[in-house]
């Protein structure tokens, strides 16, 4: 299945392929297919919760601070330059 960079065309192609695969499968076992399609626009947060992704954000901002003070960084740079 080829997905283009156009969201509308991508959605169309995806739905078309799914329906086509359903029809082909039903035909191979000689049964009438029951195909039900629901397309619903959802927000990113709802999608993330549906797939089990929990966005906690940065709980403790200090964990992401630079661990070196400016003075320590300066000393390290001087040491590298002198070696």
Each residue's pLDDT tens digit, 47-81: 888 888 876 665 566 655 655 567 776 776 677 67
Q: Would you state the pLDDT for residue 24?
A: 93
Find the distance separating the first CA and the last CA of the chain, reported in whole Å: 57
Whether 59 maps to a domain, the answer reads yes
Whether 66 maps to a domain, the answer reads yes
Q: How many domains does the chain have?
A: 1
Under the banding of pLDDT at 50, 70 and 90, the label for residue 23 is very high
Q: Would you state the pLDDT for residue 1?
A: 47
Burial of 57 (0-12, 13-18, 19+ CB in 10 A): exposed
Cβ atoms of 68 and 76 closer than 8 Å:
yes
For 53, the domain range is 7-82
Q: Would you state the pLDDT for residue 57?
A: 63
Residue with tokens 């400016």: 70
């Amino acid at each position: 299945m080829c997905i283009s960079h156009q969201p509308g065309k991508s959605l169309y192609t995806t739905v078309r392929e799914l329906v086509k695969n359903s029809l082909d499968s039903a035909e191979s076992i000689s049964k009438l297919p029951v195909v039900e399609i629901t397309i619903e626009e959802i927000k990113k947060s709802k999608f993330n919760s549906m797939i089990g992704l929990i966005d906690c954000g940065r709980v403790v901002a200090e964990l992401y601070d630079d661990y070196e003070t400016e003075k320590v960084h300066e000393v390290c740079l001087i040491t590298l330059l002198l070696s």
